Structure 1
Amino acid sequence: MNRHVNAIAGRLSLRAPQRHSLEILDRITEIIPPKKGADVAAALEIIRSEFPSVTDFERDFPSLCFALATGVGKTRLMGAFISYLHLAHGINNFFVLAPNLTIYNKLITDFSDRTHPKYVFKGISEFAIDAPSIITGDNYDQHDPASGTLFGGVRINIFNISKINSEVRGGKAPRIKRLSEYIGESYFDYLAGLPDLVLLMDESHRYRASAGIKAINELKPILGLELTATPFVEIAKGSVQFKNVIFDYPLGKAMADGFVKEPAVVTRKNFNPAGMSPEEIERMKLEDGVRLHESVKVELETYARETSNPIVKPFLLVIARDTTHAGQLLALIQSDGFFEGRYKDKVIQVDSSRTGAEEEEMIARLLKVEHTDEPTEIVIHVNMLKEGWDVTNLYTIVPLRAANARILIEQSIGRGLRLPYGKRTGVTAVDRLNIIAHDKFQEIINEANRPGSAIHLKEVILDDDVFGQKTATIVSQSQLATKLGLKPADATGSTQMAGQDVQLIFIRPEEQKVAQIAYEVIRKLENQPTTVPTLAHLKNPEIQAAIVKAVQEQHRPAQMELEGVTEQPDFVAIVAKTVELVTQQTIDIPRILVVPKGEVKAGFKPFILKLEALKYPAVSEELWIQHLRTSQLEVVTLGNGGIEEKNMEDYVVSGLVDFDDVSYDDQADLLYELASQTIKHFCSYLSEDDARKVLRCYQRPIAQFIHAQMQEHSWEDSVDYEVVVSKGFTEFKPSAYTYAVNEPSADYRVSPADKSNMSKYVFGGFRRCLYPVQKFDSEAERVLAVILDRDADKWFKPGKGQFQLFYKQGANHLEYQPDFVAETKNAIYMLEPKASNQMEDATVLAKKEAAIKWCKNASDYAAANGGKPWRYVLIPHTAIAVNMMLDGLAGQFGCY
């Protein structure tokens, strides 16, 4: 069955905890094959023998709970469960239970809408051909489910719990339990009689009430699969843990593994509440929350523009005491005195006090709060935002309701943990969820750090000197784009434009419009290197004539709409002037690809593993159980309850084939030879039984250990390569920076006061830079910019993706972005200033090697097309001084 697990995990891109859950299901179906009328007590004993955490199914049928933290992907896992049970065991009938209307509607979309980004079966080819029938609480009684005309193939029933466990007025049974004219029995009884019904319970902690358990038991499924982030129920005496948890992946683990945001508790530097009224503390927390929100909004936009990702509009969540308090907060935020009234139309109150049209508008705005065109930035709520309201753009929470620290943490962060890009970015502002808790700061820290706490919060101290600085995103597009009057896409209220003082090349709107169309035509010529090998070729009469023709064709429809305009623009003159500007304000950067001729074969040479450091101790039965209970399974991969391999070597081989560069079909002999060495090593100090347990428990780190050594023995058939130039030149990408609004651009010629924090400065005042402002990472970069602005004809700092230049690090190919590009009369330089003690660093040398090859290929292309040669210059920071000349640095440190 493992092939189904591998296939589904790969197609659905399952995360490690999701995959492990699927592996557990695979094992469960092996030791207790799901079937109608199974001996439940016997099944419990079998499962308990391998999974000691399962002490009771808590249902009248085998039911197992997968406790996965919020944000890890429970809905995707349900899709994986259904795919596996159908493909591996031929099961066709599923019943998905939702705890409320919000989740019910969300599940219908996720399971049925193939165009939706969260469609759970994306990549499952069998379902692409024959999609499952989705039967809901709204359409189940409209057709005969057994006829096969509508509900054929795989049938997934999605119901809200209220549809099956509630009584209606007059004591009648719910509609699902009433007789159906199509099937001669109630739909509920039809489901209960199916031989292969599998029940999936989303947010299963909501089905522990007696009425819910009774209704679920009556469905008589062959297997129950429960998913929740909170595997316990609260009663008067405290929390009661579930007895059927087979896999627990708690929030702390999800944080450590980077699947959710990193929550942080925020207070003010030297905050002292003495003498402050509760109202004053509340106002301070709210205002500080908004200030932090504004700062985060800028950082998110800057990151999005730097990385060409969609811009995320964050929002702030205020937790009020009650509906009266919520109304007071709404009035405050909508007043002119609160941040100059900027949030008057950007705040909504979400609670039970809204009815009718107001409620509909509230819900509509809440459901669209992730959309950048929806204005809401502050949401005030009392206690309505529960499970199912999944957003990725909640970044700041201001809890104003009295609660103990544990409840405050759990209720506050539950809705804000999901990451907007699906994974951590490494940028703190993008990856962090902020909880404003001035007066509860120490209490929350103590709770988070107590032994046994799943959450370890970061601390953020707001310094008035820094916090008081208003920031914005400054977009630095090329001087060329600015002179043509072009604007960056998706401007927001936080977006500032650099180079506002740059004089436009065309003043009249109609001429500016023609020039912009001409530039779009030129941009498309990037992809025709045989026609336009370099920018200089744009000046050829036949090329300019073709540009003029294309511009006239694109301009004509718009021209006809202009009433009263009879004079045609001088297309020839405008195009000629635009071409001249493009050649002056751009450096020829070709897009170079090195591709092999014919089929490339690669693999690994046989070698003897160095296994001395691989000394895992024997795994005792007691420790075996502890792995499960402490959620260590994700780290150690299979753990107890994983796949039981027949041959010990298969544990190693199946771990190795998960790596992209390892082909089982081509390298099976080598893989089993390495596995054999590994088995022999473990058996040299462990019994065979203990060695098997170690292999099973630590499969992933063992595979990683071996794979790292395989890299040293990789081979690739020596084949001929050819250099393919896909673009003769490339458009300059805009850059984006975060900057302090009240601080003007720094003069690049003057060394700043705080050289240790160089990246906070935005520098301007250049004469020959192709961008109006730039940021530098070090004083050496700033000094080099002074040299370039003096000695080069034109220069700039390239943005991410400008070169598409990659270097190899281990098995990975990573993008390399050189620090500077400069053009002189005789050459084009790719320059990299580097700390003198890093000149022999392995990564620096790998980048250098890739850059030299690129420059050689670019020089060959330039030589064939009348262009300038490229040279790579790696400069130690100690050699960079204002009195140095560019030619001198290139002569001393140039590598090609």
Structure 2
Amino acid sequence: MNSKAAYIKQRLSLREPLREALDIVAELAEALSLEKNGDLDGALEIVSSRYPSCTDFERAFPSLCFSIATGVGKTRLMGACIAWLYLQKGIRNFFVLAPNLTIYEKLIEDFGNPNYSKYVFNGIAEFVYNRPVVITGDNYEQQGILFRDTEIRINIFNISKFNRDAAPASKGKEKGKPPRMKRLAEYLGHSYWSYLSGLNDLVILMDEAHRYHADASRNAINELKPVLGLELTATPTDEKGLPFRNIVYEYTLARALADGKYIKNPAIATRKNFQPKGLTDKEIEIIKLEDAVSLHWDTKTELEVYSRTNGVEKVKPFILVVCRDINHARETADYLRSASFFNGAFSDKVLQIDSSTRKDDEVERQFVELENADNDIEIVVHVNMLKEGWDVRNLYTIVPLRAANASILIEQTIGRGLRLPYNGERTGVDKIDKLTVVAHDNFDKVIAEAQNPESVLNKFTYIEIPEEELGAKTVAVTALPRVENEVQQETERIASIKDEGERRKATRSLDAKKAIINALPSFSAAEGVTSSADLLKPEVRQLVMQKVEHDLGQGQINLFAGEILVEAGIAYADTVASYRKNSIDIPRMDLVKGDVPVWFEDFDLDVTSGFDFRIMAEEIIRRNLKDNMVDTIGVQQGALGRETPKNQIVAEVLNYSTEVDYDSNADLLHKLARQALEKLESTLDDTTQLPTLVYQARKFIAANIGDQMKKHFRMGEPHYREPKVLPFVKIEQWDGSALALNGYKDYRDPVTPVNTIPKYVYRGFEKACHFEYKFDSKAEKELAFVLEHDIQVLKWLRPAPNQFRIYWQNNTKRYEPDFIVETAYSIYMIETKAANELDSREVLEKTAAALRYCSYATGFTTANNGKPWKYLLIPHDQVATTSSFEYLAGRFEMKC
């Protein structure tokens, strides 16, 4: 791992997707020359060999796109990249493009104001005394200290101003003059454009990069001649809807939702049994606004309880109301402030912000301070705030009043409220981690669009297969182990024998070999078999022959069983010798983890907050767009349940948390429910209302209890169960596909471009346990070359997916190592992995499982005079055809 990258990741506390992206920047920046007007084709070959999704830079310089979902932290990644390029490569000149004025102003604060809460360089000691100089599209003409050797310069331009200042004027008094950036600047002795384009270390960073693929922007950016471009966007498609061809990393909205860590869970809400028929548009708007307040109050209470319970900062949520135009916004804001709306509860808590109010200093101040807990605003009314760059973390409820189709609601509206308030990560509290869009009149259409596989909620990748590849016909292929391949070839030879007697004799001999091969892996140490070498012992031979005889007698009567048994006796030694020559002794075991021990510690319920409820009149139903989970918010008194209040609470706690088992925790559950009821009863003037209150608020009460129980939830560490180990298993066949035309290659043949390596089936192996294999990467193909040519390697195997029974991720996934290699003294399990993924949780879990297998395998084999098992985890960039296996084994062996 690059030490500077590790330092920056630690100092900036980067989230996992940003850590992965920074590693890629570090890897490729080290591999590329970063020279002005360098070899573009050569640079593309380097990048595409490592990241096949990058097939074209689409610019006149190396430019890498990082597709990262809104809310994950693209700006923070830009800061990390600038820090690494300066600290590692000495680059001091950067040019940052913003897509609009909002992001432009935000980036100036992000990069230039150390007192700003979101300053991107906080923690980088080198930038404390050498703070980067920020040059903007508004002050570049006044800069006069551009040539100090030690300063880091970050130019930040709004793309519209950049295009305007870089393009020739076309009318008015400016007509005929050079573009503003290309005019002579006296303090420079030439134009600012000439200064920028003449820099030998200029790196350009493009925020919301999909905005800069139009011809005018592309041409102007190309003229700057940077040494490297870094593009960041959540939607890597150009103006024609075509996916970018220079993507090297993706963390899509769908992936972020699936991970459930860094963004809110979006949900659509409507009133239960809502019937718009007969209602005017105005009446529908009022219902949506009233229900938004019910949702808002519910979220506000949840946030306050969470703040008190966990001792963290208070977060004040707000509602965003999106209107059709300024007149509509004014009417809506006036209504929300009026006594007709919740008796004037929001008279001083509504902010209308659009082009008619934006210049009001007080309105602007309140808008900028929306995230502050002491800001009074709880409803923002806006006409066109749904655009990139509005970066707030306390927006929880959105009410679109203007007409919008389902896809726009999902792709634009939801994106504005995805950011999370607490360290940018989910808390585990559903209502705090949820964004709600109130869409009574569009509910079904939005749900249908959310379930569309092409929706951004479900589309895991923007990297699409080129059309020409879609038309390439493929066929299914099966690679048999050498032992079985020899049987198949013998079967084909026998079929060509014309003499019936000779053919029958040959068939019996082949049937005998197959019967022996099928019987061999079924023996254990209890029967005297600790390795394939024991198969030659007379006593084991006798056991195998008994098994052969037994198997021949199973099923349909075999009239030739006696003849086959005789042939088996004759062929036994040669068959076993062939089996051992073409196999590796892979101990068979089912490596699984045992049950996780869990329990709840006894405690008393904290009722100091979170138990202040009002009896409401109706219910709102809300549905998550990603997982279709549905919850309801009570706003109406309904039919009361038949169960007692205490039993209702207990039942809801069990529904709320799947971790709570009634039989094991009945006493605690009833105790906590009783304490909750005592508190609730104390808040009521009329205690006969208690059953009604409990029925309406039962979900919230249960959630409060469940959340407190979670704090007292204890979980032990599951351990792998000690497996029963058998000495060896058969080598499994693997199945795959190959191009129907020209789909096979010799493994020694070079393949270009390298992203086509997975398409082919490779042949020509002499030491492998199969005659042909497929490879997923250049590193795997080159490692196979090393194994074939290294004198220390006796045999090797690329295992089929079902070769091992090594389970990980709570026994839900099976580990599939890349290679098994046998030398004179050891057997190695090998994994090749992208260098930037070595520290990922998935790799670490797989490594732990593989090491445990090797430990059990070694315990068995060494106790029986066999070879120890070792595990190698090899970074992809450390494998070359010139590598020796001894070097790789010595450097990358993982220890338990």
Smaller-chain TM-score range? 0.5 to 0.7
User: Conserved in 1, the CA contact under 8 Å of 2:333 and 2:351?
Assistant: yes
Q: Give the structure 2 partner of residue 420 of structure 1.
A: 421
Q: In the alignment, is the contact (CA less than 8 A) between 1:2 and 1:643 conserved in 2?
A: no
Unaligned ranges ≥5, structure 1:
470-495, 502-606, 629-638, 650-677, 714-896
2:589 corresponds to: none
Q: Mean alpha-carbon deviation: is it higher for 338-347 or for 204-213? A: 204-213
Q: Is the 8 A contact 1:199 1:221 kept in 2?
A: yes
Asked whether 1:314 is paired with 2:317, we answer yes
* Equivalent pair of 1:67/1:227 in contact (CA under 8 Å): yes
Is 1:10 aligned to 2:47, yes or no?
no
The amino acid of 1:94's aligned partner reads: F
SS in structure 1 at match of 2:425: coil
1:209 maps to what in 2? 214
**Equivalent residues in 2 for 1:552-591 (5 A)?**
none
Which residue is equivalent to 2:197? 192
Looking at structure 2, the residues matched to 642 and 338 of structure 1 have their Cα atoms a distance apart, in angstroms, of 66
Q: Could you tell me which of 832, 841, 846 is aligned with 1:692?
A: 832
Number of the residue aligned with 1:431: 433
Measure, in 2, the Cα distance between the counterparts of 1:609 and 1:394. Answer: 55
Contact 1:23 1:643 in 2 (8 A): no
Structure 2 letter corresponding to 1:8:
I
Amino acid at match of 1:204: A
Aligned to 1:310, the other structure's residue is in SS state: coil
**Aligned 1:231-270 pairs, distance under 5 A:** 231-235=236-240, 239-257=241-259, 258-270=261-273
Q: Is 2:384 the counterpart of 1:383?
A: yes
1:156 offset after TM fit, Å? 1.7
The residue that corresponds to 2:227 in the other structure is 222
Q: Which of 295, 298, 306 is matched with 1:292 structurally?
A: 295
CA shift for structure 1 position 706: 4.1
CA distance in 2, matches of 1:392, 1:131: 28
The residue type paired with residue 844 of structure 2 is: A
Please show how residues 767-778 of structure 1 align to structure 2 within 5 Å.
none
* Separation in 2, partners of 1:648, 1:123: 45
Equivalent residues of 1:53, 1:246 under 8 A apart: yes
Name the structure 1 match of 2:136. Answer: 136
1:156 to 151, 154, 166: 154
* Secondary structure, counterpart of 1:141 in structure 2: helix
Q: CA deviation at 1:691?
A: 4.2
- Whether the 8 Å contact between 1:67 and 1:229 is mirrored in structure 2 is yes
Cα shift readout 1:105-161 (whole Å, capped 9, x = no counterpart):
22122222223332212222322343222222344333444431xx73322222222
Residue identity matched to 1:227: L
Q: Which letter maps to 1:414?
A: G
Alpha-carbon separation, structure 1, partners of 2:817 and 2:408:
52
Residue deviations 1:269-322 (CA, integer Å, cap 9, x gap): 222323333332222111101111111111111111111111111000111122
Contact 1:319 1:400 in 2 (8 A): yes
Cα 1:94–1:468, aligned 2, differ >3 Å: closer, same or farther?
farther
Hey, what's the Cα distance between the residues in 1 that align with 2:127 and 2:782? 29
Is 1:116 the counterpart of 2:116? The answer is yes
CA deviations 1:173-231 (Å, max 9, x no partner) are: 45332211111111121010011100011112222333222221111111111111121
Q: Is the alpha carbon distance of 1:361 and 1:467 closer, same or farther for their aligned partners in structure 2, counting shifts above 3 Å? A: farther
Are 1:40 and 2:45 counterparts?
A: no
Counterpart position of 1:372: 373
- How many angstroms apart in 1 are the aligned matches of 2:444 and 2:429? 26
Which one of the candidate residues 168, 184, 207 is aligned to 1:179?
184
CA contact (8 A) 1:268 1:462 kept: no
Q: 2:444 matched to 1:304? A: no
Opposite residue 65 of structure 2, the aligned amino acid is C
Flag the structure with larger Rg.
2
Q: 1:210 to 1:499 in 2, by over 3 A?
A: same
Does the residue aligned with 1:414 lie in a helix, a strand or coil?
Answer: helix
Task: Tell me if the contact between 2:24 and 2:836 (Cα under 8 Å) persists in the aligned partners.
Answer: no
Q: What letter is aligned with 1:313? A: K
CA deviation after TM superposition for structure 1 residue 337, in Å: 0.6
Q: Secondary structure at the match of 1:429?
A: coil
Residues 102 and 389, structure 1, Cα contact 8 Å, conserved in 2: yes
Structure 1 letter corresponding to 2:845? Q
Is 1:64–2:201 an aligned residue pair? no
Inter-CA distance 137–274: structure 2 relative to 1 (3 Å threshold)? closer
- The amino acid of 1:11's aligned partner reads R
- What's 2:647 paired with? none
**Paired residue for 2:339?**
336
Per-residue CA distance 1:792-830 (angstroms, 9 max, x = gap): xxxxxxxxxxxxxxxxxxxxxxxxxxxxxxxxxxxxxxx
Q: Secondary structure at the match of 2:184?
A: coil
Q: How far did residue 259 of structure 1 move?
A: 0.4
Give secondary structure in 2 for the equivalent of 1:20.
helix
TM-score, reference length from structure 1: 0.54
- Give me the TM-score of the superposition, normalised by structure 2: 0.54
Identical residues among aligned pairs (%): 48
The equivalences for 1:343-742 within 5 A come to 343-354=346-357, 356-357=359-360, 360-421=361-422, 422-455=424-457, 456-457=625-626, 458-462=628-632, 464=634, 682-684=819-821, 691-692=831-832, 700=840, 701-707=842-848
Q: 2:441 is aligned with what amino acid?
A: D
- 1:388/1:92 CA distance change after superposition, 3 Å: same
CA apart distance, 1:499? 9.6
CA-CA distance at 1:246 after TM superposition: 1.9
Q: Is the CA contact (8 Å cut-off) linking 2:65 and 2:232 kept in structure 1?
A: yes
* Shift in alpha-carbon separation, 1:680–1:381, aligned structure 2, 3 A: closer
Aligned CA-pair RMSD:
4.4
Cα distance in 1 between the residues matched to 2:757 and 2:364 = 43
Task: Report how far residue 234 of structure 1 moved.
Answer: 4.5
For 1:398, the aligned partner's letter is V
- Secondary structure (helix, strand or coil) at the match of 1:266 reads strand
Alignment correspondent of 1:560: none
**Aligned residue identity for 1:402:** A
- Looking at structure 1, the residues matched to 22 and 723 of structure 2 have their Cα atoms a distance apart, in angstroms, of 34
**Contact conserved, 1:267 with 1:461, CA < 8 A, in 2?**
no
Structure 2 counterpart of 1:785: none
Distance 1:644 1:379 in 2: 58
User: Do structure 1's residue 277 and structure 2's residue 280 form an aligned pair?
Assistant: yes
Give the secondary-structure state (helix, strand or coil) at the position aligned to 1:200: strand
Contact 1:67 1:248 in 2 (8 A): yes
SS of equivalent residue, structure 1 residue 84? helix
